[in-house]
Amino acid sequence: MISVYVHFPWCLQKCPYCDFASSGIRRQDVPQEAYAEAVLAELGRRRAALRDEGLASVFFGGGTPSLWEPAQLGRVLSAVRDSFADEAATLEVTVECNPTSFDRERAEALRAAGVNRLSLGIQSLHDQHLRFLGRLHNHAGALAALRDACAVMERVSGDLMFGMPGQSAAQAAAEAGRLADEGLDHLSAYSLTIEPETQFGALNRKGRLQLAPEEETASAFESIRHALAERGFEHYEVSNYARPGEHSVHNLHYWQGGAYLGLGAGAVGCLHTAPGRARRYRNDPRPERYLETSAADEVEVFEEALAGEDLVREQLMLGLRTRWGMDLDRARALSGVDPLAGREAAVEAAVGRGDAVVEEGALRVPGRHWLRLDSIVAELF
Ligand code: SF4
């Protein structure tokens, strides 16, 4: 099975912490139809590789795909579905939405186009934090969008950020709890990280960005985990929580090493080319270049071949982020090599310290150690 990711490369304004492939645009300047045509042209070129495959999930991310007219997004979705021999019995189709380009009417139009899951970029319910993050909405706009989404769509997820300066762990937990109480069935909670190629990165280099102390951020992580557990959410991936059965099919497919086709400016794809081999590529992130070249090979600005140990390491990085860990049989089938070969001593040491367990055919890191996940994975590399 293959998942499809479609990238929409524009936002109304670039947020100062964001290093995603996105740039600011005025609403009226979005090339609605031309972008759909460009994505369809790219799909046409890649279609031959999909004919015998099944479609696992579709995700429209960005950028701000809720700026795309639902009719244009719907054309792309139909063409994606038509390109596969088969699809999951209940195909999960998610669209990321920002409160400033979303309302009930848009939610209904997206549902009519075949979308069945929304992911809302809420980020915070505090106006002061939203301003710090450079967001265009306020807390009232966030709640209105959330209510519209829940009224129309069966499955709604929200993004929440924590670790802002001046935010206490109790505040972060209260926000997560409030969102759960408002009806979300899935929540992604990310700590604010400072990426070098962003406005925040530049301010930080000049020593002009106030940051939250690390202990405060760690304590917010634990408090959010606790608040959501109390409300019946399962912490199933380092940054993701879901009510029973509401995990993101798309993201799980990715974390479990599944193949995915990336379409759109700046999109990344990774397709299996033979047993134990894969090819990862990245499209040109510049929208104007993408619009010109999407139907041609030169739309790709990066590619790499992955084999054997590369694929095991990918699985260590991604699979260990989840509560199920790295499935050893699946990792062996994907990579063509024994995933534990050469790392027996490191695994034994991690298990001895309680940082990892090997059980039921999987290597996993217990959730209570996820704050230290990066260093645990590094030792197993
Ligand atoms: S809205 Fe999202 S994708 Fe767009 S700039 Fe802000 S964080 Fe980045």
CA 43, CA 50: separation in Å to the nearest integer?
Answer: 10
CA 312, CA 354: separation in Å to the nearest integer?
Answer: 22
Domain 2-252, CATH homologous superfamily name and number: Aldolase class I (3.20.20.70)
Inform me whether the pLDDT recorded for 310 exceeds 90.
Answer: yes
Boundaries of CATH 3.20.20.70 in the chain? 2-252
Mean pLDDT along residues 251-274: 96
At 294 the pLDDT is 97
> Residue 322: CB within 6 Å of ligand 1?
no
- The alpha carbon of 241 and the centre of ligand 1 are apart by a number of angstroms equal to 21
Inform me whether the pLDDT recorded for 69 exceeds 90.
Answer: yes
Q: How many C-beta atoms lie closer than 10 Å to residue 28's C-beta?
A: 5
Residue 63: cis peptide before it, omega within 30 degrees of 0: yes
Q: Which atom of ligand 1 is nearest to the CA of 63?
A: 3
> Residue 63: CB within 6 Å of ligand 1?
yes
In which residue are the tokens 């429209």 written?
60
pLDDT band at 370; cut points 50, 70, 90: very high
- The alpha carbon of 324 and the centre of ligand 1 are apart by a number of angstroms equal to 30
> Residue 98: CB within 6 Å of ligand 1?
yes
Among protein residues, the one whose CA lies closest to atom 3 of ligand 1? 63
Q: Which atom of ligand 1 is nearest to the CA of 135?
A: 6
At 51 the pLDDT is 84
Helix orientation angle between 309-319 and 328-335, rounded to the nearest 10 degrees: 150
Inform me whether the pLDDT recorded for 344 exceeds 90.
Answer: yes
At 49 the pLDDT is 85
Mean pLDDT along residues 275-287: 96
At 93 the pLDDT is 98
CA 368, CA 139: separation in Å to the nearest integer?
Answer: 31
Q: Which CATH architecture describes the domain 311-381?
A: Orthogonal Bundle (1.10)
At 134 the pLDDT is 97
Q: Which atom of ligand 1 is nearest to the CA of 11?
A: 4
> Residue 20: CB within 6 Å of ligand 1?
yes
Among protein residues, the one whose CA lies closest to atom 6 of ligand 1? 15
pLDDT tens-place string over residues 177-227: 999 999 999 999 999 999 999 999 999 999 999 999 999 999 999 999 999
pLDDT tens-place string over residues 32-66: 999 999 999 999 999 998 989 999 999 999 999 99
CA 337, CA 334: separation in Å to the nearest integer?
Answer: 8
In sequence order, the β-bridge partners of residue 186 are 157, 242
> Residue 163: CB within 6 Å of ligand 1?
no
Boundaries of CATH 1.10.10 in the chain? 311-381
Inform me whether the pLDDT recorded for 169 exceeds 90.
Answer: yes
Task: Quote the percentage of the chain above a pLDDT of 70.
Answer: 100
In sequence order, the β-bridge partners of residue 92 are 57
> Residue 191: CB within 6 Å of ligand 1?
no
Among protein residues, the one whose CA lies closest to atom 2 of ligand 1? 63
Q: What is the 3-state secondary structure (H, E, C) of the chain?
A: CEEEEEEECEECCCCCCCCCCCEECCHHHCCHHHHHHHHHHHHHHHHHHHCCCEEEEEEEEECCHHHCCHHHHHHHHHHHHHCCCEEEEEEEEEEEECHHHCCHHHHHHHHHCCCCEEEEEEECCCHHHHHHCCCCCCHHHHHHHHHHHHHHCCEEEEEEEECCCCCCHHHHHHHHHHHHHCCCCEEEEEECCCCCCCHHHHHHHCCCCCCCCHHHHHHHHHHHHHHHHHCCCEEEECCEEECCCCCCHHHHHHHCCCEEEEECCCCEEEEEEECCEEEEEEECCCHHHHHHHCCCHHHEEEEEEEECHHHHHHHHHHHCCECCCEEHHHHHHHHCCCCCCCCHHHHHHHHHHCCCEEECCEEECCHHHHHHHHHHHHHHC
- The alpha carbon of 59 and the centre of ligand 1 are apart by a number of angstroms equal to 16
> Residue 18: CB within 6 Å of ligand 1?
yes
CA 279, CA 271: separation in Å to the nearest integer?
Answer: 5
Inform me whether the pLDDT recorded for 236 exceeds 90.
Answer: yes
pLDDT tens-place string over residues 88-136: 999 999 999 999 999 999 999 999 999 999 999 999 999 999 999 999 9
Report the residue among 19, 20, 30, 95 best suited for mutation to probe ligand 1: largest number of ligand atoms under 8 A from its CB.
Answer: 20
- The alpha carbon of 134 and the centre of ligand 1 are apart by a number of angstroms equal to 9
